[in-house]
Amino acid sequence: MRLPRTPRAAIATALLAATALLAASPAQAQRGGLSVTPGILEAAARPGGFGAVKIANTTAKPMKVRLAVRPWRQARNGSVAPNRRKVMGKVRPNRGGFRLAAGASRSVGLRLARVPKRRSLYGAIEVTGAPLRRGGKGIKVAYRLVTSLRLFPPARARRFKARPKRLFVKGRARRGALFLAVKNAGNTIDPIGARVTITGRGRTVRNEVAPQTILPGATVNLRLARLRGTLSPGRYRLGVRLTQAGRKVAGFRRGVRLR
Amino acid sequence: MTINRARARRLSLALFPALLGLSCALAGSLASAQSPTPGGEVPSMLALSLSEPGPLKRVGNARGGGAFATTIRVEATATDVPSRLSLADGDSGPGVRRGYLGRSRSILSTPLEASADGGPLRSLADPVPAPLRTWRVPTAGAPARIRVVQKASSARAVRNRNKLLLVTLTAGGP
């Protein structure tokens, strides 16, 4: 029996596509990776066990897994990364390192040894997974999953406080930006925003700064306004009202000179 | 009335996918009508899948030599947003300089650089690794391609050196 030319070609193409799909899907599933649950661990800052993280190795090879709780390091532009030179001594995992077989998973409990002075603690749970046979020449890769640890203060001990620091201009009036360094002097990570009023030379410009998360004790440069030539060079009066969790936490008036 | 057999077979072959699609749609609608409201809980999680990078290959010229590059394929899953993909130096110990390709105490003069999905190149020598890619929505197996670039005087300079890179996925910020 001879099939017409066009349907035969269609069937052949469909069969080829199906074979390719079948061949591709197991390869993708076998590749697997490393996973951590939960992505953000939140609890009240009380001494004792407060939770656990579950680590799973879904690759086809065993892995050497390390878990460390580290403080965050925040850059002036607001970006954060775990400080790999330090560990948070107050938070202790059940096990710091272990071998995880292919397809296996393991839960690691976390315990707060002592409540810090601030009554809150924010850190990074860093899980690193490297294949057992490392070394060799060239570039090798390992997995690192960073989840967030948030140990909140009790409701009555929450402090919302921001401290404005240096005010500075980057660039010029035609093209630049106005920045204010702000320190979070409280003990929460509620984002800090600002309302800005710039007055002078017969004009008033208002701006609302998008709230930004600043770690307790850290300082971040908030961009108060973008300068695009709307304000001519000269002296201006600047009014700033810093807000956190819907309340005013600091305010000041200062003079600023744009060039 | 006579019907050409070949024509009938062609017609049936053309109608088969349409009939199959229709039956699938009917089965799906019946199943959804029988089951309760779709939905459920998704556990908060973070997962990463990596491919093994190949050797550094010459991709172009750079001042005083050439540019050598390799690619790492990544699949990221994150339920918390924003999730950020970055690359950090995983080597530690004496004689190791952050972000520089080296062998024992001999290191190259320029640091490794990386970019993801055609973004700008970022130096791996920075103390806070810059995010290469940010997802502002929950992702499940979102693909990304990290390109690692090393500028060196010759292929021989990069051949015998090594570096462990930590492909980092960070969930939700501080």
pLDDT tens digit sequence for B13-31: 555 555 555 554 555 555 5
pTM: 0.78
Q: What's residue A59's pLDDT?
A: 92
Q: What's residue A1's pLDDT?
A: 41
In this structure, is residue B112 part of a structural domain?
A: yes
- Cα–Cα distance, A218 to A123 (Å, whole number): 13
Q: Which of B43, B127, B163 is the closest to A38 by Cβ?
A: B43
Q: What percent of chain B has pLDDT over 70?
A: 77
Number of domains in chain B: 1
Name the residue in chain A with its Cα closest to that of B104: A137
- What are the residue boundaries of the structural domains of chain A, listed by start? 32-157, 162-258
Return the DSSP state at A19: H
A151 — contact with chain B (CB < 8 Å)? no
Amino acid at B79: T
pLDDT grade for B11, boundaries at 50, 70 and 90? low
Q: What's residue B153's pLDDT?
A: 85
Q: Which residue has the higher pLDDT, B65 or A234?
A: A234
Say whether B49 and A134 touch across the interface (CB within 8 A).
no
Instruction: State the CATH number of the domain containing residue B69.
Output: 2.60.40
pLDDT grade for B159, boundaries at 50, 70 and 90? confident
In this structure, is residue B38 part of a structural domain?
A: no
In this structure, is residue B3 part of a structural domain?
A: no
Say whether A141 and B167 touch across the interface (CB within 8 A).
yes
Q: What's residue A108's pLDDT?
A: 97
Q: Which domain holds residue B153?
A: 46-171
| A19-38 mean pLDDT | 59
- 3 state SS of A248: strand
Q: Which residue has the higher pLDDT, A248 or A132?
A: A248
E strands present in chain B: 46-50, 57-62, 65-78, 83-89, 102-103, 106-107, 113-116, 122-123, 133-135, 139-152, 162-171
Return mean pLDDT, chain B: 80
Whether the per-residue pLDDT at A89 is higher than 60: the answer is yes
Whether the per-residue pLDDT at A238 is higher than 90: the answer is yes
Return mean pLDDT, chain A: 87
The CATH superfamily of A32-157 is: Immunoglobulins (2.60.40.10)
Domain A162-258 has CATH 3.40.950.10: no
